[in-house]
Amino acid sequence: MRGLRIFLFILFPLGLSGQIWLDSDGFKPEVDQQFILHTFSPESNFLDTDSELWDARSIVIKRSQAVRIIAPSESLYEKEFQESSLCYNLGGGNLLYAGCTEYGYYKYGGKAGETILAFSDPELYFPFPMEKGKQWSDDFQSLFKIGAIEFKRNGQIIGQAISTGTLIMPYGVMTGVIKVKITESLRDSYEVMGNPVVSVTRNETICFLLKGNMEPLLAITNSYVQGELVNTFGTFLEGSQVKMEKGPWRDLQVKEKAEGQRSLEFISEWDGLLELDLLDEKGKLILSIEESKVKPGPESISIPRESGARYLRLRIEGQETLIPLD
């Protein structure tokens, strides 16, 4: 039965009032879009909840999966998911049905193998607008079968927009990234040889969203069955398909100089003052370097060595990026 329980939580894996961080215009998956989703085995030190800087440079691709979004009418199960507007073709006959409106991103269920799971009430996965400290919860239900066994599922999702910060991926640095925590609690009731059985699954997910992208940049899920951790997996969006703002600089690099000196070298596209800061491993300020006057063209700026400094932050009129120093 343990194998059956594990199958249930991997059935469909993917991904306070105040300033609006994300709305439906900023997160908008659409029919005919395609993307590559990579899977990796997490090392979760960069998910420190007290930090606003998350360094994911060390993640290594374990598996890659091409995903195409089609209209539900193009699938064989439009009747079971009439309210959905998006169908994610995950390959191998596996499908996820969803929808995106001005009020949120919803999941309607899907198909895995021979099993079809359709929520009688959709699951509100992300609400819009998403604001600082935003919290939400939603209940959903479903009846489905695995083989000859009939299941009744009662589910609840609880989520919170935790913070915004900087995410460093192997392909680049992104600022203004939104960190969201989601907990899905699933209670499945069924019978085996006339005996009632209840299986309780909890999926705890941390995901990172960036305005302008149709999928989370990065997500890590811990899955528990009957309170026991049974699986941990991570996914991230292919870097070539990530939309991110480019700052007024090119070819950024820190070069080691003679006698223990080092310098920041880049090609500037800005005429004005550049702010430089040294940060520790959690993104906390260690030292503010004197502002430097830069002009369009090649620039070289001396960078002091400071104990505990892990990152160099560049800022020009609200635009910023980080450079790892190790």
pLDDT in tens, 35-71: 999 999 887 555 666 678 898 988 999 999 999 999 9
pLDDT value, residue 247: 76
* 250-263: pLDDT as tens digits: 888 888 877 767 88
User: Could you tell me if 10 and 109 are in contact, meaning their C-beta atoms sit under 8 angstroms apart?
Assistant: no
pLDDT value, residue 194: 86
- Please give the model's pTM, rounded to 2 decimal places: 0.83
Higher pLDDT, 171 or 44: 171
Class of domain 249-324: mainly beta
Average pLDDT, the chain: 87
> Domain residues of the chain, as ranges?
2-241, 249-324
pLDDT value, residue 48: 65
Distances (CA, A) of 280 to 40, 44, 324: 26, 18, 10
How many Cα neighbours within 13 Å face the side chain of 86?
21
Higher pLDDT, 312 or 248: 312
Residue 143 contacts by C-beta under 8 Å, 6 or more apart in sequence? 120, 150, 151, 152, 153
Q: Which of 14-18, 51-55, 208-212, 286-290 has the highest mean pLDDT?
A: 208-212
Confidence of residue 14 (pLDDT cuts 50, 70, 90): very low
